[in-house]
Every structure is written in C-alpha cells, then in structure tokens.
Amino acid sequence: MDVFKVSGNGPLHGRIQVSGAKNAALPILAATLLTDEPVRLRNVPDLSDMRSMLEILRHVGAETTQPESGTWEIRAENISHIAPYELVRKMRASVCLLGPLVARLGKAEVSIPGGCVIGPRPIDLHIKGLKKLNCQVEIANGYIYVDASDIRGGPIFLGGRSGSTVTGTANIVMAAVLAPGTTRLECAACEPEVVDLCRMLVKMGARIEGIGSPELTITGVEKLHGCEHSVIADRIEAGTFVIAGAITRGDVTVTGIAPQLLGAFLDKLEEAGLPMELGEDSIRVLPYEASLRPLDVITLPHPGYPTDLQAQLSALMTQTEGLSIITERIYPNRFMHVPELQRMGADIAIEGPSAIIKGASKLSGAPVMASDLRASAALILAAFAADGDTWIQRIYHLDRGYERFEQKLSAIGAKIERLSDTEMPKELLGE
C-alpha cells in the first residue's frame, strides 16, 4: 500500500489549479443514465471514486469512452436496473443511481451502501422522497427495491434532523424530472454541486425552477436528451489548498475557483486575519507575521461552513494562538483526525460534537493513520507545519477525492512523496 512521507519545508509559493468537483461529478455521471443519447462531460477529475462510478455505469450497460483526459462520453442506450453490492459497497455515492434508474426504467434494485467511518449515513430521506413520488419501496436482503410504475410528482418536504441532504436531493430531483406532474421539493440542498447537477439536467431538457434555493419546482417531461457539460470546480479541494498556503504562511494563488463558492469558509479565514486577495476566478493567500486569531465555527449545510473543510481547519487552528471551537453538526463523530493530530503534538479536546483546540502547538512529525478523505488532507496540512517527517498511512482515502494531490503541492514547494509502505521504516509501520 502507498504511504506519504511529508516533511515540513517552510512557506509554499506559487499557483495551484483546482480540479473538477468529485461531489458534483458523481451524481452527474449517474444522471447520464437518464437519456439514451450520448452525454459528453468535461472537467471530470481522475479519482478512484470516478473509476468506481464509471464501473457501475458500465455494469448497468452504459458505454463509456474517454476522448481525452478529463472528458468522458457516456451513452446509456440499453440499461438494466440492478446495481449490485460488490460495486456499490466501494462508494456510498452510488446510492444516487436510484433516482436515474427509477426515472428511466420505472424500477431499481440498488444495494444499500455499507458503513462509513465519519458516522451513520442513513438513506431514510431518499426513501421518503421516492415514496412521496408514489413509488413502492421495499428493503430486503441489503437491497432497496423500487417499483416506480406509477410514479408521479407531488409535494415533498425533504428535511431531516441535520437539515437538507445533498445526495438525497440529487436522487429525488433525478427521479422527478421524468415523472408526470409537478414536484415541489422543500428543504432541498443548496450546495453548488446540486446546482451544477440541476443545470446539467436543464441542458438535457428538464424543467426545474428555483435552482440554488431550498425550494425546487420540477415539472416532469417525457424524455431527456444528450448534452455537453463541464463539471464545476472543487470548492473543498480549493479550500484545502488555501489552508496549505495559510498553515505554511506562504504566498499561494489557488486558481480556477470562483471565491463565491467558498463564502462561509473565506469569511471565517478573514475573521482569523488571514490576508487574501480574491479574484474573479482565484484566491491568493498572502504571507503574514503575527499569529492568526482563533475561531468559533459550526459546520452546517450550504451556505454554512462545510463539514468537508472541518478537519483541515482544525489542522490550521492548532497553529493559531488562543482557543478555537469547531462544532460538527452534520457528522457529530467526524473527529477521527483528532487522535492523529494529538500524536503530532496538537492540544485538542473533544466535548460532545465540538473540538476545543488550544493553538500555537509545536507539531512534530510522527507516523499517523488516515481514516477518511478529509482527515487525510488534515494530517498532510499539519505535517507541512511540523518539524521532521510525518508518515501517513492509508492514503487510499485521499486518492478517492484529491486529483494528483502530491504533484500539485510539490509544484509549489511542498515536500511530499508517495512511497510504498515497504519503504517505510519498519518500526514506524502501524500494522
């Protein structure tokens, strides 16, 4: 298995380009099943999660070709309605095949995705939404069986305990675009990735009003057609690079990202005192002398502070004088990075859904274990600020969601190497 060896190497300098958004590309790939015509997608990141989704599309019968790097052409002329466990278990987001299969074929059999280290990931709202669309839904043998022979639009309130659901909204919108009648979706997720999906569906001929708001009105149409679409930039990757600049007190320009996509995140960094220059399509982080200020942050659905940038901000706050409080409202147990940061010298206490971070810690390199995608990024960011070498194991988590991570960061001066765990000193190996 691969590991990263990261050495604190001082300030990062230069320009770093953002890739297409994983969390937009996944439901967008699923949406290609909604038409028998070819769909051409650009700016698709090269990630293991994309490969898993493409494998499922091929399994149900779609033809996939890659005319050039980052571009995929998908043609789902004759497809079947079954997404089996051996493919779905690789990636939770495969649950968003439900909506397109139901809409296109009037039935779906999709395996229920397995557990997840960041906490429970229920799908009750997806099921509730489908039932409100007059589908018959049954759970048996680890599968969701949907009979949508009598699907029709109607009013749906899709909010849950933590507010809106991102893939749940994607699923119900995709199920509704071909359903007779009008669907009024309340408490829809407003994340930019959901907006990107809706824009693509409109290009395919769907009728969706209220895009970007929590209230969507979808008027069913008879057929969707092919389209060309470019996936939006990955705001979480961009935010991770902003923190890479901040934690090393570097001069880093993150390009290919509209700052508006990162409103709550940039607002918090501004409150912390990070000097930044915002362009139309770029964010420049500037060097600073005095310490940043501590923060009190709560993760919330968009436009609130994103949970997917919580772990990375925790890493930055270990370097800030004073007490920071980071409260996780989306996944209250998403603190697997904390014990690993503690091994590097961070002073963090967990109180219920909050991490209380006493900053200005002197971090030192250590062997650590990545537990999920964003935790992996947080450990690498902390390693940039640490003395000595940090060895990060289980980086396959990172490969699910960051394209060419080490190449991009090496190009702006980071010392980060991908090695095989056989090259790791034996006494440091965690397993």
The catalytic site residues sit at: 116
Please identify, using beta-carbon distances, which residue of 47 and 177 lies nearer to ligand EPU.
47
State yes or no: residue 115 binds ligand EPU (CB under 6 A): no
Among 153, 192, 367, 401, binds ligand EPU (CB under 6 A): 401
State yes or no: residue 26 binds ligand EPU (CB under 6 A): yes
CB 18 within 8 A of CB 238: yes
Window 341-380: contact mask with ligand EPU (x via CB under 6 A)? --------------------------------xx------
**What value does the CA radius of gyration of the chain take, rounded to a whole number of Å?**
22
State yes or no: residue 125 binds ligand EPU (CB under 6 A): yes
Per-residue tokens: 31: 């949406």
Nearest to 80 by CA among 51, 109, 54, 53: 109
Window 126-165: contact mask with ligand EPU (x via CB under 6 A)? x---------------------------------xxx--x
State yes or no: residue 8 binds ligand EPU (CB under 6 A): no
Please identify, using beta-carbon distances, which residue of 75 and 305 lies nearer to ligand EPU.
305
State yes or no: residue 124 binds ligand EPU (CB under 6 A): yes
State yes or no: residue 123 binds ligand EPU (CB under 6 A): yes
Q: In what order do the strands lie in the sheet with 207-209?
A: 155-157, 182-186, 215-219, 207-209
State yes or no: residue 93 binds ligand EPU (CB under 6 A): yes
In whole angstroms, the minimum distance from the beta carbon of 289 to ligand EPU comes to 33
Residues 291-320 touching ligand EPU, rule: CB under 6 A, are: 307-308
Among 283, 330, 366, 378, binds ligand EPU (CB under 6 A): 330
Please identify, using beta-carbon distances, which residue of 201 and 330 lies nearer to ligand EPU.
330
Among 19, 52, 94, 167, binds ligand EPU (CB under 6 A): 167
Please identify, using beta-carbon distances, which residue of 166 and 206 lies nearer to ligand EPU.
166
CB 250 within 8 A of CB 226: no
Distance separating alpha carbons of residues 139 and 388, to the nearest angstrom: 51
Please identify, using beta-carbon distances, which residue of 274 and 373 lies nearer to ligand EPU.
373
Long-range contacts of 48-54 (CB under 8 A, 24+ apart): 48/396, 48/399, 48/400, 49/22, 49/91, 49/93, 49/400, 49/401, 50/22, 50/25, 50/26, 52/87, 52/90, 52/91, 52/94, 53/25, 53/26, 53/29, 53/91, 53/93, 53/94, 54/29
Please identify, using beta-carbon distances, which residue of 24 and 292 lies nearer to ligand EPU.
24
State the CB neighbour count (10 A cutoff) for residue 219.
Answer: 16
Give the residues lining the site for ligand EPU (CB under 6 A): 23, 26, 93, 120-126, 160-162, 165-168, 307-308, 330-331, 373-374, 401
